[in-house]
């Protein structure tokens, strides 16, 4: 009987779909699950956190600016350790076959959503055996959050162990999506806790309808959405992992929009009269990190000389096919506090040669590590390394290119005393400069388990970052980060390569799509012309 009912509702839905406006997105990967908290992949968040859920704060569309969402407003105590959130009233939870909400969103949901991640003894912490909360842990939430208290149904107070300026941006990230406590109770009573990860219930613009593994995800417009209702009635993700096939589907009209085109296809897309291409500077950086603890790379003059020996524009042209900005700072120009006054080291092999001689370096041999995989900030590390190798040979430096399997590469490149300079990069999580500078270049992250692959520890630089992190005033923070970038350029722990451009090809019929600097794909504002 139940099967019959499902069947009937599916029939009704497919009949309705023929007339309704359906937006098809050719997504690049299957979601790992539909609960955003345990996962880290962007493709998973596009399928869960963005269409189905909301967070207390969110990023304003197309920016990294934090705006109110489920929290309508907030107060921060003078010492910056207490955040009191005033929650939005009248926000309806979605429903499905297993769950019909009896109440609106409230403070219990907020506390539940955070505590299940942070408290190891929480009944929902391990609701699926082996589940972990990687973002919550890596954003240092367990160390940061002292307590979360319910003041009343619509007021929640977060007490922090120390002031943390990026906190509001951190909680706008997908892992901090708010899930329903009432739904959790219903699932627990039914003995099907794992459905929290299979059949998501949120407050977002779209309702989850069905997922056929590795093939299709279906959503429907949420009729009770508290914000501006989506324009399309149905949203479909057609999972298509191969970039060339995605493009063919887009051309054939089988989908309206696709992520991550192959760099080689960009020109053809631009030439196609039925397609259009949105582009934006990505919130990323690709770099070559020297091991600043090993001679002669512990000498800033040597690092600077090497930086001057490499032709950056040639790399941007050959490897990125022009789809990138040459990088001079460790943070991208789309990020606030980017110090545009800084001059990049000029490409000058002659001067570089002289500087090396002055530093007493002759017949230098070094290794360049090239990643085995393509990443958003680096389309081809091997080719980049080859260009560097060629340039370095002109100043008498003999470079050898090495590579490892990706997991090994990440681990080995963090081993102290590492031999060689490493090509790697970073894509921002939340638009805060701290998310680049502290994670990649602070003294704290130079040790085991960190991500400072230059092992560069500059006390002045780290002090500026600490100060900026505990200061609430944006103008002061901006000035501190600008000073930090000056130290970075002067000390040259990295050769900054490029900030790659992100492209989103779509059908001409699509309007209203807004590219996110964070690389999110959201569809609540899209429309399709008939």
Partner 1 sequence: MVRFILSKLLYLVPTFLGITIIAFSFVRILPGDPVLLMAGERGVTPERHAELSAQLGYDKPVVMQYFDFLGRLMHGDFGNSLVTKKPVLTEFMALFPATVELGLCAIIIATLIGVPVGVLAAIKRGSWFDQISMTTALVGFSMPIFWWGLLLIIFFSGILGWTPVSGRISLLYFFPNVTGFMLIDSLLSGQKGAFTSALSHLILPSVVLATIPLAVIARQTRSAMLEVMGEDYVRTARAKGMPPSRVIGVHALRNAMIPVITTIGLQIGVLMAGAILTETIFSWPGIGKWMIDSIARRDYPVVQSGLLLIAALVMVVNLLVDLTYGLINPRIRNK
Give the binding site for partner 1 (CB under 8 A): 3, 6-7, 10-11, 13-14, 17-18, 22, 24, 29-30, 32-33, 40, 128-132, 134, 137-138, 194, 197, 210, 212-216, 218, 236, 238-242, 244-245, 248-249, 251-252, 254, 404-408, 410-411, 414, 424-426, 439, 445, 448-451
Instruction: Determine contact, residues 47/236, Cβ cutoff 8 Å.
Output: no
Q: Residue 40 or 159: which CB sits closer to partner 1?
A: 40
Q: Residue 10 or 190: which CB sits closer to partner 1?
A: 10
Query: Whole-number minimum distance, CB 215 to partner 1, in Å?
Result: 4
Query: Whole-number minimum distance, CB 242 to partner 1, in Å?
Result: 6
Query: Whole-number minimum distance, CB 159 to partner 1, in Å?
Result: 25
Instruction: Determine contact, residues 206/227, Cβ cutoff 8 Å.
Output: no
Query: Whole-number minimum distance, CB 493 to partner 1, in Å?
Result: 16
Q: Cα(107)–Cα(152) distance, rounded to whole angstroms?
A: 7
Residue with tokens 């909301």: 54
Q: Residue 17 or 487: which CB sits closer to partner 1?
A: 17
Count how many residues are written for the chain.
530
Q: Residue 105 or 521: which CB sits closer to partner 1?
A: 521
Q: Residue 285 or 392: which CB sits closer to partner 1?
A: 285
Residue-by-residue DSSP string for 9-54: HHHHHHHHHHHS-EEEE--SS--S-S-STT---HHHHHHTHHHH--
In sequence order, what E strands does 49-154 have? 57-59, 66-68, 71-76, 82-87, 145-152
Query: Whole-number minimum distance, CB 32 to partner 1, in Å?
Result: 5
292 secondary structure, DSSP code: T
Query: Whole-number minimum distance, CB 107 to partner 1, in Å?
Result: 29
C-alpha distances in Å from residue 21, one per residue of 17, 27, 52, 60, 509: 7, 19, 18, 25, 12
Query: Whole-number minimum distance, CB 408 to partner 1, in Å?
Result: 5
Q: Residue 283 or 392: which CB sits closer to partner 1?
A: 283
Task: Tell me the torsion sign for CA atoms 41, 43, 45, 48.
Answer: negative
Query: Whole-number minimum distance, CB 370 to partner 1, in Å?
Result: 15
Instruction: Determine contact, residues 214/4, Cβ cutoff 8 Å.
Output: no
Nearby residues of 273 by Cβ (< 8 Å), 6 or more positions away: 508
Q: Residue 285 or 361: which CB sits closer to partner 1?
A: 285
Q: Which residues pair with 85 in a beta bridge?
A: 74, 156
Residue-by-residue DSSP string for 416-439: TT--SEEEEEEE-SSS-THHHHHH
Q: Residue 315 or 439: which CB sits closer to partner 1?
A: 439
């Amino acid at each position: 009987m139940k099967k019959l009912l499902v069947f009937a509702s599916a029939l009704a839905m497919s009949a309705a779909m023929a007339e309704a406006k359906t937006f098809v997105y050719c997504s690049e990967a299957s979601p790992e699950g539909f609960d955003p908290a345990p996962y880290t992949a962007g493709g998973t968040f596009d399928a869960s956190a963005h269409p189905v859920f909301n967070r207390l704060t969110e990023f304003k569309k197309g920016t990294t600016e934090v705006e109110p969402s489920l929290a309508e407003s907030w107060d921060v105590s003078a010492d910056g350790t207490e955040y009191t959130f005033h929650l939005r009233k009248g926000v309806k939870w979605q429903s499905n076959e297993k769950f019909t909400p009896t109440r609106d969103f409230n403070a219990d949901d907020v506390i539940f959503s955070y505590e299940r991640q942070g408290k190891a003894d929480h009944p929902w912490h391990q609701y699926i055996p082996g589940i972990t909360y990687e973002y919550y842990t890596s954003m240092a939430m367990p160390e940061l959050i002292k307590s979360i208290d319910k003041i009343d149904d619509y007021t929640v107070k977060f007490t922090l162990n120390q002031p943390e300026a990026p906190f509001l941006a951190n909680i706008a990230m997908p892992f901090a999506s708010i899930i329903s406590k009432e739904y959790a109770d219903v699932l627990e009573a039914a003995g099907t806790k794992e459905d929290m990860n299979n059949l998501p219930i949120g407050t977002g613009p779209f309702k989850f309808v069905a997922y056929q593994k590795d093939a299709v995800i279906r959503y429907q417009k949420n009729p009770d959405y508290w914000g501006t209702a989506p324009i399309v009635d149905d949203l479909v993700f057609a999972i298509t992992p191969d970039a060339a096939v995605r493009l063919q589907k887009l051309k054939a009209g089988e989908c309206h929009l696709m992520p991550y085109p192959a760099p080689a296809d960009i020109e053809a897309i631009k030439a196609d009269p039925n397609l259009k291409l949105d582009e934006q500077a990505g919130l990323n950086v690709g770099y070559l990190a020297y091991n600043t603890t090993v001679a002669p790379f512990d000498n800033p003059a040597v690092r600077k000389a090497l930086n001057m020996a490499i032709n950056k524009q040639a790399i941007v042209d050959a490897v990125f096919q022009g789809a990138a900005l040459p990088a001079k700072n460790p943070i991208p120009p789309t990020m606030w506090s980017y110090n545009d006054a800084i001059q990049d080291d000029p490409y000058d092999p002659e001067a570089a040669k002289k500087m090396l001689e002055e530093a007493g370096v002759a017949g230098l041999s070094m290794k360049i590590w090239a990643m085995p995989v393509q990443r958003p900030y680096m389309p081809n590390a091997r080719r980049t390394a080859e260009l560097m190798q060629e340039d370095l040979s002109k100043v008498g430096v003999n470079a050898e290119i090495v590579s490892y399997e990706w997991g090994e590469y990440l681990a080995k490149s963090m081993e102290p005393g590492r031999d060689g300079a490493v090509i790697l990069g970073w894509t921002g999580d939340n638009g805060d400069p701290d998310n680049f500078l502290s994670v990649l270049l602070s003294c704290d992250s130079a040790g085991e388990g960190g991500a400072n692959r230059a092992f560069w520890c500059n006390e002045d630089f780290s002090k500026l970052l600490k100060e900026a992190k505990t200061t609430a005033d944006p103008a002061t923070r901006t000035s501190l980060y600008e000073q930090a970038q000056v130290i970075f350029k002067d000390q040259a722990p990295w050769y900054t390569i490029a900030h790659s451009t992100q492209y989103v090809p779509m059908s001409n019929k699509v309007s209203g799509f807004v590219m996110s600097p964070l690389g999110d794909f959201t569809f609540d504002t899209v429309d399709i012309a008939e």
